Structure 1
Amino acid sequence: MKKKVWISIAVVALIGLLVGVNIYRASNQEVLSVETATVEERELTGNVMVPGTLSLSQEYFVYYVPENGQVEAVLVKEGDKVEEDTPLLRYENEQLQLEKEQNALSLESSYLQINRIKDQIDDLDEKEKDLEDQLGKEEAENQVDAERDQLKTDLKVADLEARQVQLQKETIESKIDNLVVTSENAGTVLSIDEEAIKGISQTPILHIGNPEELIVKGTISEYDSLKIIEDQAVTLRSDVLTDKEWKGKVEKVSYLPIQNETVAVSGEETAVQYSIEVSIDDKNIEAKPGFKLIMDIETEKRSALAVPLEAVKQDGENYYVYTVEEGKAVRNDVEIGTASDEFMEIKTGLKSGAKVIINPSEEVRDNVEVNEK
């Protein structure tokens, strides 16, 4: 009996000790210091980030055309500045020259034939007048009508043949004119490929462009094509020049999707892509054509209730923040919206003016006493 009494006394004493310790800890617990921010209307921007390649805004290539013959001479050199229609290179084509001479002979022959038939018609008219004096008008017409009809038919045929030869002449002259290749636009001769001149390489003979006018080319998804429009502001960055960034704007978004020849042949469906071009405000950009850039495109700008990104916590599919109310942390479930680099839009769950805790530690829980720094 005494043993049970002593056990009961020990249990009561242990419970009292634990209660006392908890009371002591609670009375001496330090109030957590937290950093807060005010919930308020802020200007938020929506962004789309896509990769791109720095390219010349105006460039074109001149390829070897076997049908034109052999390249007789390149009329420019690397570094030359050219204007539109400046002669670039000249082909030599002996076959075309021979065709031109043969055509000239055929055309001359056709005109001789036409003139000969006209002379025969004139002679027939004289003959008809002589017959009128001898046999009368009606008999004279009967004797020459058949011959006149034949000559008129011959004249039409000769005229058609002459017109065909004339068309051949125009075609040949056009081909000869094409033997001298002229520039499509003003620019600078960037490269000349000697192997391509000889027809050995399939690369362009000439590469002409304007190195002072650069753009960034890339592709965007069908989803992003609904948000990106012309004149939107763009920030450009490079993984190579990490300390640099450049400003620009969207110049062009294609209306039609990019055609994928591989998909067309295989019949497989892939994501639809649209081409995009971005101009650069800085004309002295350190990057070179071919550099890979990141295009950070600003798709929207508006005011909304927002908090710093560091204040928002996630619990599964739900989001929440801690606010400070009467010296205690209070958990608030929220519905988020658009995020910028620094802030998160809050659609529901908070009111303007509330204080939210930034980077709440694991010690911050609902109803814990806190002190704002």
Structure 2
Amino acid sequence: MKKKVWISIGVAAIIVLLAGVNVYRAMNTEEVKVSTVNLSDREIVSNVMVPGTLKFQSEQYIFQEPEKGRIAEVLVKEGDAVKEGTPLLRYENEQAALEKEQNMLSIESSYLKISQLKNQLEDLDEKEKELANQTGKKEAEKTVEAERDQLKMELKMADIELRQLNLQKETVQKQLENLEVKSEMAGTVIAVEDQHAQSADGTLKAVIHIAKTDSYIVSGVLSEYDSLKVAKDQPVTLRSDVVTDAEWKGKVSKIGLLPEVAAGTMGTENTAVQYPVEVIIEGSEMKAKPGFKLIMEIETEKRNVQTVPVDAVKQDGEDYYVYTVEDGKTKKKTVEIGTASSDYMEIKEGLTDKDQVVAKPEDNLLSGTEVTVK
């Protein structure tokens, strides 16, 4: 009898203990609460991010041309504003100066010769008249005919020689005019260097550098894939890691039809193909300087699409999924994604407008978890 009593007491104690454990667990289990969202129609902007270098939009470099002679005079200084056609420097070329002097003397000599021949023809006409009075007109013409023909031939040759000398004069004049180098654009003189100044790599520097300082471009390169998405006049936002508090607006002004070929890679297989791209910057207020590296964010497309917040989408290898809430429990659903912005992700397939999508699922959330929607 005692044994049965003790068994009953033990069973009752176990039941009480299990009930207490369950009550304890229930009291200490946190309720899982989640926020949900539905698919929403939003405008998604597709961008291409490209690094680039800031440059002047228009600039001119004047390098020394040894074949023209020695630079005798630089006619501008740094900071000067110049117009198109403004003289920048002059060369000194002794050979060209001698050719000009020789040409002038030859032309003068040719004029004298022509004048003499004309005088001789006039004298011959007088001589013919005197002979005509003495021997008759026919005999007089016969007597001076050979001499007249010779003088006319010499006069014709002298005229040809004079035309040749005048053509030579034009050539020499152009050579001398080329000794004065003029600006091909309106702008500001950025730098004036000694004609023998060299860069760090040993190459000669430009003697004069002119640029239009109120207009800039950014140049970079596009991959094969990106070159198919970027088009002329697409809007661009530009930023700098150096000037962090500023951004600039621009638009695509040029896309290279042919790829850039880096030195030493011609004919090399598996070389990445890159196409040059230029962006013109709107406005002239630039805190950055030419040579600065900028990030070009090129807006390639705008579309209205079905989206959920980026944080709602999880990735498992090559697959993407979200959690929905159905009958108070989570359910994992695989989705096909599209374009993403900084806040939203396009959902192409896998969800309907009625699905309640967990807005920001915890990493340890599992399918089938009982949840309460906030």
* Cα deviations by residue, 1:15-34 (Å, 9 ceiling, x for unpaired): xx99x989996998544222
Aligned-pair identity in percent equals 52
Question: What is the SS of the residue equivalent to 2:77?
Answer: coil
The one-letter amino acid paired with 2:232 is E
C-alpha separation in 2, matches of 1:249 and 1:222: 20
**Does structure 2 conserve the Cα–Cα contact (< 8 Å) formed by 1:124 and 1:144?**
no
Range that drifts further, 288-297 or 268-277: 268-277
Change in 2 beyond 3 A, CA 1:353/1:190: farther
* Cα deviations by residue, 1:301-342 (Å, 9 ceiling, x for unpaired): 010111122222222222211112222211111111122222
Change in 2 beyond 3 A, CA 1:163/1:370: farther
**Does structure 1 conserve the Cα–Cα contact (< 8 Å) formed by 2:233 and 2:251?**
yes
C-alpha separation in 2, matches of 1:339 and 1:151: 94
Among residues 212, 215, 234, which one is paired with 2:214 in the alignment?
A: 212
The one-letter amino acid paired with 1:221 is S
The one-letter amino acid paired with 1:354 is D
Structure-2 residue corresponding to 1:338: 339
Among residues 131, 137, 141, which one is paired with 1:133 in the alignment?
A: 137
C-alpha separation in 2, matches of 1:364 and 1:232: 42
Write out aligned runs for 1:209-288 (5 A).
209-258=211-260, 260=262, 262-264=264-266, 267-269=267-269, 270-288=271-289
Structure-2 residue corresponding to 1:317: 318
**Does structure 1 conserve the Cα–Cα contact (< 8 Å) formed by 2:197 and 2:204?**
no
Change in 2 beyond 3 A, CA 1:169/1:197: farther
Structure-2 residue corresponding to 1:183: 183
Unpaired runs of at least 5, structure 1:
1-13
Question: What is the SS of the residue equivalent to 1:171?
Answer: helix
Question: What is the SS of the residue equivalent to 1:169?
Answer: helix
Change in 2 beyond 3 A, CA 1:37/1:243: farther
Change in 2 beyond 3 A, CA 1:247/1:175: same
- Give the superposed CA RMSD: 3.7
* Cα deviations by residue, 1:39-68 (Å, 9 ceiling, x for unpaired): 111101111001111111221111111122
Change in 2 beyond 3 A, CA 1:47/1:201: closer
**Does structure 2 conserve the Cα–Cα contact (< 8 Å) formed by 1:330 and 1:367?**
yes
Unpaired runs of at least 5, structure 2:
1-13
Structure-1 residue corresponding to 2:6: none
C-alpha separation in 2, matches of 1:370 and 1:100: 99
1:87 maps to 2:87: yes
**Does structure 1 conserve the Cα–Cα contact (< 8 Å) formed by 2:323 and 2:358?**
yes
Question: What is the SS of the residue equivalent to 2:109?
Answer: helix
**Does structure 2 conserve the Cα–Cα contact (< 8 Å) formed by 1:196 and 1:204?**
no
C-alpha separation in 2, matches of 1:146 and 1:359: 116
The one-letter amino acid paired with 1:273 is Q
Equivalent residues, number? 350
Range that drifts further, 288-297 or 151-160: 151-160
Q: CA deviation at 1:152?
A: 6.5
Normalising by structure 2, what TM-score? 0.80
The one-letter amino acid paired with 1:217 is S
The one-letter amino acid paired with 2:179 is L
Write out aligned runs for 1:353-364 (5 A).
353-364=354-365
**Does structure 2 conserve the Cα–Cα contact (< 8 Å) formed by 1:305 and 1:352?**
no
Change in 2 beyond 3 A, CA 1:218/1:160: farther
C-alpha separation in 2, matches of 1:114 and 1:69: 36
C-alpha separation in 1, matches of 2:252 and 2:274: 16
The one-letter amino acid paired with 1:98 is L
Change in 2 beyond 3 A, CA 1:328/1:157: farther
Normalising by structure 1, what TM-score? 0.80
Structure-2 residue corresponding to 1:10: none
C-alpha separation in 1, matches of 2:62 and 2:33: 71
Change in 2 beyond 3 A, CA 1:127/1:170: same
C-alpha separation in 2, matches of 1:154 and 1:42: 93
Question: What is the SS of the residue equivalent to 1:217?
Answer: strand
Range that drifts further, 278-287 or 343-352: 278-287
Write out aligned runs for 1:24-103 (5 A).
30-103=30-103
Question: What is the SS of the residue equivalent to 1:274?
Answer: strand
